[in-house]
């Protein structure tokens, strides 16, 4: 019988998934290797966790309410940028710079705003046409963004919900969280169905909440943990389980795939959202990052800034995600799981 009575949070879900996984295993030596590499990168200032991704976003990074609505749109559409061919990713050019993947989506949003299109206004995007969505997010190759129709549907749905429940701004949803990251995640997944990233394994409902958690982390990162970005429990959120971070974890040996799964991945197999292999990869990735965080220690690390942060799972996620981007060529031989869905 399916157990839906006690849906676990992402951290507990990941521990459970790891305990029942068949084709994905966590290697403790690999966990230590990642922790050592992060510690080295911090020591040499190669890695500066306080930047938290946003330093390289093509985002008008003003620390005000307008950025809250910008981030909400970006993370509502933050999914499915992969291509079967490594050299043909979704891309957008802005100010002479070519961005790929999620950064390309961010560039498209900024480009639309600069052209006078109020793409971050719920009243605008709740009624936006499919043709306009295609025009705004068209790839520089001339091809539509993946899952174009789904993105249009999500814009309509999210815009309508913001108008009906939150007076037309995600800021009002944020204010209801009372500085709790967990409360905000709950508000997001309760009110916005497209963020409800859940699965079933061994008859147990588990939650992964990639986009909901990254939205919280983005707000925290942009505002440097102050003002609108002040959360008393930010260190309780997990990493953001996608298809790229596991690549880095496999590279370091923190994750190991069975021979069967490795062969399937090498064939460019496209999984369905909810397939056991997909859930195992994502869940074990989350748990691996929790173990990396424990290995690094929960003590505060001074990053030579005005603020002393605790190295949390969001920061570790950023390191691994950025590592994959920086060493894309070296990691290109490691196959990653491909799922065409709205959750990541």
Task: Report which of 214, 164, 221, 153 is spatially closest to residue 189, judged by C-alpha positions.
Answer: 214
Name the phi and psi angles at 200, rounded to 5.
Answer: -125, 130
State both tokens at 1: 């019988």
Task: Report which of 109, 49, 32, 100 is spatially closest to residue 77, judged by C-alpha positions.
Answer: 109
How many angstroms separate the CA atoms of 90 and 104, rounded? 7
State both tokens at 344: 């990541």
**DSSP states of 153-210:** HHHHHHHHHHHHHSTT-HHHHHHTTTT-HHHHHHHHHHH-GGG--EEEETTEEEE--H
Residue 160 near residue 152 (C-beta atoms within 8 A): no
What positions carry a catalytic annotation?
242
């Amino acid at each position: 019988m399916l157990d839906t009575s006690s849906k676990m949070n992402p951290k507990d879900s990941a521990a459970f998934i790891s305990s029942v996984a068949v084709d994905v295993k966590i290697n403790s030596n690999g966990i230590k290797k990642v922790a050592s590499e992060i510690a080295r990168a911090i020591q040499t200032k190669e890695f500066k966790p306080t930047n938290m991704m946003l330093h390289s976003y093509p985002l008008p990074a003003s620390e005000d309410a307008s950025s809250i609505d910008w981030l909400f749109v970006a993370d509502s559409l933050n999914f499915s940028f992969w291509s079967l061919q490594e050299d043909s990713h979704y891309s957008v050019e802005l100010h002479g710079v070519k961005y790929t993947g999620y950064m390309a989506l961010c560039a498209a949003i900024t480009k639309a705003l600069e052209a006078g299109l109020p793409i971050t206004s719920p009243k605008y995007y709740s009624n936006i046409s499919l043709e306009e969505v295609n025009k705004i997010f068209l790839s520089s190759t001339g091809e539509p963004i993946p899952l174009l129709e789904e993105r249009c549907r999500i814009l309509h749905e999210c815009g309508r919900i913001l108008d009906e429940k939150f007076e037309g701004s995600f800021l009002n949803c944020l204010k209801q969280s009372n500085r709790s990251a967990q409360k905000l995640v709950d508000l997001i997944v309760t009110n916005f169905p497209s963020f409800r990233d859940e699965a079933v394994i061994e008859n147990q409902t588990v939650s992964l909440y990639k986009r909901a958690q990254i939205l919280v982390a983005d707000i925290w990162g942009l505002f440097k943990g102050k003002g609108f970005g002040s959360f008393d429990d930010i260190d309780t959120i997990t990493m953001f389980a996608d298809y790229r971070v596991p690549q880095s974890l496999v590279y370091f040996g923190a994750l190991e795939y069975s021979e069967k799964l490795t062969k399937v991945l090498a064939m460019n197999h496209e999984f369905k959202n909810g397939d056991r292999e997909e859930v195992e990869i994502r869940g074990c990735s989350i748990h691996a990052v929790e173990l990396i965080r424990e290995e690094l220690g929960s003590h505060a690390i001074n990053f030579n800034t005005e603020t002393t942060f605790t190295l949390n799972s969001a920061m570790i996620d950023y390191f691994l995600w950025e590592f994959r981007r920086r060493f894309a060529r070296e990691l290109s031989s490691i196959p990653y799981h491909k799922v065409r869905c709205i959750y990541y």
